[in-house]
């Protein structure tokens, strides 16, 4: 049975997001579509999602993005940037956030890994 009540955060011009959305549609997974740039996650949402995912905050950054490089995030992590600073940065611009994201009541999927998505969503 397909999981319902999930939020799919995407950037439409991202090829991985398009691939993930096509997969969701093909599997019949019901989701609320949310554009990550126009409706950027808030610091509170991110705090909750990070806790739910059990992943380190670093995994929520779009490390291949131009903005990540422009802000020198790799060096900032090496220098010990705080979790609060990370949350503020992520909440300031959707292009910094790893995508796609699928958020359910008790799980958060970061990036599109089909096997992981099948295990959680199907």
Sequence-separated (6 or more) residues with CB below 8 Å from residue 104: 3, 5, 6, 7, 120
Convert the pLDDT of each residue in 1-22 to its tens digit. 454 589 999 999 999 999 999 9
Quote the pTM value.
Answer: 0.92
Alpha-carbon span 48 to 90, nearest angstrom: 13
Rg (CA), the chain: 14
User: What is the phi/psi pair of residue 61, to 5°?
Assistant: -90, 140
User: If you average pLDDT over every residue of the chain, what do you get?
Assistant: 95
């Amino acid at each position: 049975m397909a999981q319902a009540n999930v939020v799919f955060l995407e950037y439409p011009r991202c090829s991985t997001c398009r691939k993930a959305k096509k997969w969701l549609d093909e599997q019949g997974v019901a989701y609320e579509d949310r554009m990550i740039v126009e409706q950027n996650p808030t610091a509170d949402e991110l705090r909750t999602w990070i806790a739910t995912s059990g992943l380190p905050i670093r995994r929520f950054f779009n490390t291949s993005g131009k903005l990540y490089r422009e802000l020198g995030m790799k060096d900032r992590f090496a220098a010990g940037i705080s979790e609060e600073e990370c949350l503020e940065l992520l909440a300031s611009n959707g292009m910094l956030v790893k995508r796609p994201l699928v958020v359910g009541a008790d799980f958060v999927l970061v990036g599109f890994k089909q096997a992981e998505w099948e295990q959680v969503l199907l």
